[in-house]
Amino acid sequence: MIVKSFELNKINLKNNQFFLLYGENQGLKEEVIKKKFKSFYLDSTYTYEESEIINNEGEFYNNILSKSFFENEKLIIITRGTDKIIKIVEEIIEKNIDDLILVINSNSLEKKSKLRSFFEKDKRTLCIPFYEDNNQTLSNIAASFFKQHKIPISQQLLNLIIERCRGDRQNLNNELGKIENFIRNKEKIQIEDIIKLTNLADNYNVSELVDTCLSKNRKKTVHILNENNYSVEDCIIIIRTFLIKSKRLLVLTKNFNKTKNADSAISEYKPPIFWKDKELIKTQVQKWSYLKVESLIYKINEIELLIKKNSNNAVNILSDFILEQSDISNN
């Protein structure tokens, strides 16, 4: 059965068990999955990529059919769903498992897609398309954010933020998240602060800069550095993002040492790594050793102190550090 995304608030989703969410608006899909599903199944949510299920079908069935004394219902999320998984989905639905909620997160599916057609026609399922946001929708989201935080903002600046997010809800959420983190320790925020913070959306966000560096892609790292005019505040955000991602990489390289399998180390990591990032993270795991990451974390802490002590030279300190880490010979 087809349901429009804007109709979700009018529907009691607990009356259904099987959901297909498809379309290019990944940001909105993630919001819906988080608010409408994950929030109700905090300790019983299991995420699988389609390829994992196809390659380990027996193990997948064992996991969804096994029952825990502490679980009432399980939420199973399948990412990157395509027509390849249609038979498995049909089998799950036919088994009439009462304590199972199934959510499939797919990219664009053509009208002739078997998976889409099945969910559109079967009365036991809900099929929800997620189309790209227009600028007005994104503007309303941003305006609501600034109103909630009691931050006066002109329509001109609001338009500038939306423009820099390139019509992507996830980019917008990233930018608003940076602003929210900034104002936690501030009594008020100036327009100049917002412009500086959202400057990173011009080409690449902080996360992409750090991931590119950790992937040892020096050429792209240099390009990102050259394309952005970083402030001292940006440097602090970047170096702390480095720390967060390096701590994750430390755990992954430790698991990789045990399993000798990068895909396995990534699949077992908690919280689960978003499917779009898995190949990038796999590259990082293969480029770094556990001891090198351990050493990197010590350096990151030293660099943050240096930046704070030498604010006039913060950008140069950070840039030199990033370029050093992106060098494949530094391995």
CATH number of 135-202: 1.10.8
Asked if 247 and 210 count as a contact pair (C-beta separation under 8 A), the reply is: no
**Residue 86 vs residues 4, 54, 57, 80: alpha-carbon distances, Å:** 22, 11, 13, 13
329 or 137: which carries more pLDDT confidence? 137
Q: Which of 124, 122, 165 is CA-nearest to residue 141?
A: 165
pTM over 0.85: no
pLDDT band at 15 (very low <50, low <70, confident <90, very high): confident
Q: What is the mean pLDDT of residues 27-45?
A: 87
Closest among 48, 20, 49 to 114, alpha carbons compared:
20
Top-confidence residue, 33 or 67: 33
Residue 276 has pLDDT above 80, yes or no: no
Q: What is the pLDDT of residue 82?
A: 94
Range 283-302 average pLDDT: 93
Per-residue pLDDT band at 64 (split at 50, 70, 90): confident
Give the pLDDT confidence score for residue 149 in this predicted structure.
Answer: 85
pLDDT at 191: 67
Q: Nearest 5°: phi and psi at 16?
A: -125, 160
Confidence of residue 271 (pLDDT cuts 50, 70, 90): low
At residue 20, the pLDDT reads: 96
Residue range 139-169, pLDDT digits in tens: 899 999 989 988 887 776 787 777 667 667 8
Backbone phi, then psi, for 100, in 5-degree steps?
-130, 130
Domain boundaries, the chain: 5-129, 135-202, 210-326
Q: Which CATH superfamily is domain 5-129 in?
A: P-loop containing nucleotide triphosphate hydrolases (3.40.50.300)
- Give the residue with greater pLDDT, 272 vs 44: 44
* pLDDT score of 164: 66
**Average pLDDT of the chain to the nearest whole number:** 85
pLDDT in tens, 205-215: 678 899 999 99
Q: Answer whether 225's CB lies under 8 Å from 322's CB.
A: yes
Average pLDDT over every residue of 191-196: 70
Higher pLDDT, 160 or 199: 160
Long-range contacts of 53-57 (CB under 8 A, 24+ apart): 53/78, 53/85, 53/88, 54/84, 54/85, 54/88, 57/88
Q: 64 or 283: which carries more pLDDT confidence?
A: 283
User: What pLDDT is attached to residue 108?
Assistant: 86
Give CA–CA dist 165/174, Å, rounded.
Answer: 9
Residue 96's pLDDT is 86
- Tell me what percent of the residues of the chain surpass a pLDDT of 70: 92
CB neighbour list of residue 274: distance below 8 Å, 6 or more residues apart: none
Three-state helix/strand/coil letters over the chain: CECCHHHHHHCCHHHCCEEEEECCCHHHHHHHHHHHHHHHCCCCEEEEEHHHHHHCHHHHHHHHHCCCCCCCCEEEEEECCCHHHHHHHHHHHHCCCCCEEEEEEECCCCCCCHHHHHHHHCCCEEEEECCCCCHHHHHHHHHHHHHHCCCCCCHHHHHHHHHHCCCCHHHHHHHHHHHHHHHCCCCCCCHHHHHHHHHHHHCCCHHHHHHHHHCCCHHHHHHHHHHCCCCHHHHHHHHHHHHHHHHHHHHHHHHHHHHCCHHHHHHHCCCCCCHHHHHHHHHHHHHCCHHHHHHHHHHHHHHHHHHHHCHHHHHHHHHHHHHHHHCCCCC
Look at residues 196, 264, 204, 201 and name the one whose alpha carbon lies nearest to residue 234: 196
Contacts with 115 (C-beta within 8 Å, 6 or more apart), sequence order? 20, 81, 82, 83, 85, 86, 89, 104, 106, 109
What's the pLDDT band for 107 if we cut at 50, 70, 90?
A: confident
pLDDT at 88: 95
Per-residue pLDDT tens digits for 212-244: 999 999 999 998 888 777 878 788 888 888 988
